[in-house]
Chain A
Amino acid sequence: GAVVSQHPSWVICKSGTSVKIECRSLDFQATTMFWYRQFPKQSLMLMATSNEGSKATYEQGVEKDKFLINHASLTLSTLTVTSAHPEDSSFYICSARQGGRNTEAFFGQGTRLTVV
C-alpha cells in the first residue's frame, strides 16, 4: 500500500507555544488529506479535510484559528496547533487519499502531543 509519513512521532511543548505536525505522502500524490484526533481507547475523530491549494474544511466544533492546516503541495499537509494548552494533548493522525477510483485512505504513524 501507499506510504504516508507523519513527523514528529511525539512532541512535548509548553503551554502557549505552537507545534507543527507534518504529513507527507511518500509515493503518491494526495489531492486530499485528513486530520484526525484520537483520545485514549476511543476511535478517530475527524478534525478537518485538507485539499491541495484550497482552504481546509473543518468539522463542527473544531477551531480553525487554533488548528491551522496548510496543504501547499500534493505531497505535504501540515497541522499547526497554536497556543497549545494541556487539553490539546492527544494523538493526532493524518491520512491521505490518491483520488480517482482509489478510495482507500492511508494513515501516518500518528503524533503524540503532550502540552505541559
Chain B
Amino acid sequence: EDQVTQSPEALRLQEGESSSLNCSYTVSGLRGLFWYRQDPGKGPEFLFTLYSAGEEKEKERLKATLTKKESFLHITAPKPEDSATYLCAVQASEGSARQLTFGSGTQLTVLP
C-alpha cells in the first residue's frame, strides 16, 4: 500500500527564516511526486511534479528535491504570504488507478 508521511505537522517561521518540509514515501514504483499548496477553504494549488531521484525544481522562494525515499520542499527567506498548508502526494506507476495518495500536510505559518 502506498504511504506518504509529511513532517513536521506544523511549522512556525519568522519572516526570512529559511527551512525545509519533508515528505517520506513508500510506493510500488514512482510515477510522480507532487507538491501542492492549500489555503484555508480552498482547493490545492499545484506547485511541482518530480519524476526521478535527483530531480530538482524551483519556483520563486520554493525548491523541491527528490530522492528514492523522500522529497524536500525548501523555503528560502519566506514571507507571510507563504503561510499555507503544503501537501505532498505520490502517484504509483503500477496498480489500479492513477490517483494520488496524499500526505497529511505541513501547516506553515510565517510570522512578520
A is bound by B: yes
| Nearest-Cβ distance from residue A23 to partner chain B, whole angstroms | 10
Pair A32/B102 contact, Cβ less than 8 Å: no
A interface residues, tally (CB under 8 Å): 25
Which chain B residues (44-101) contact chain A, with CB distance < 8 Å? Answer: 44-46, 49, 87, 91, 96-100
Residues of chain A with a CB closer than 8 A to B32's CB? 103
Chain A residue nearest to B45 (CB atoms) is A107
Pair A106/B46 contact, Cβ less than 8 Å: yes
Which chain A residues (8-40) contact chain B, with CB distance < 8 Å? Answer: 32, 34
Pair A44/B102 contact, Cβ less than 8 Å: yes
B interface residues, tally (CB under 8 Å): 23
Pair A104/B105 contact, Cβ less than 8 Å: no
| Nearest-Cβ distance from residue A88 to partner chain B, whole angstroms | 18
Bound CA–CA A109/B39 (angstroms): 10
Residues of chain A with a CB closer than 8 A to B100's CB? 34, 46, 95, 105
Q: Identify B105's interface contact among A4, A43, A97, CB under 8 A.
A: A43
Residues of chain B with a CB closer than 8 A to A104's CB? 34, 46, 49
Bound CA–CA A110/B107 (angstroms): 18
Pair B43/A6 contact, Cβ less than 8 Å: yes
| Nearest-Cβ distance from residue A31 to partner chain B, whole angstroms | 10
Residues of chain A with a CB closer than 8 A to B91's CB? 103
Partner-B contacts on A (CB < 8 A): 1, 4, 6, 32, 34, 41-44, 46, 49, 57, 91, 93, 95, 97, 103-110, 112
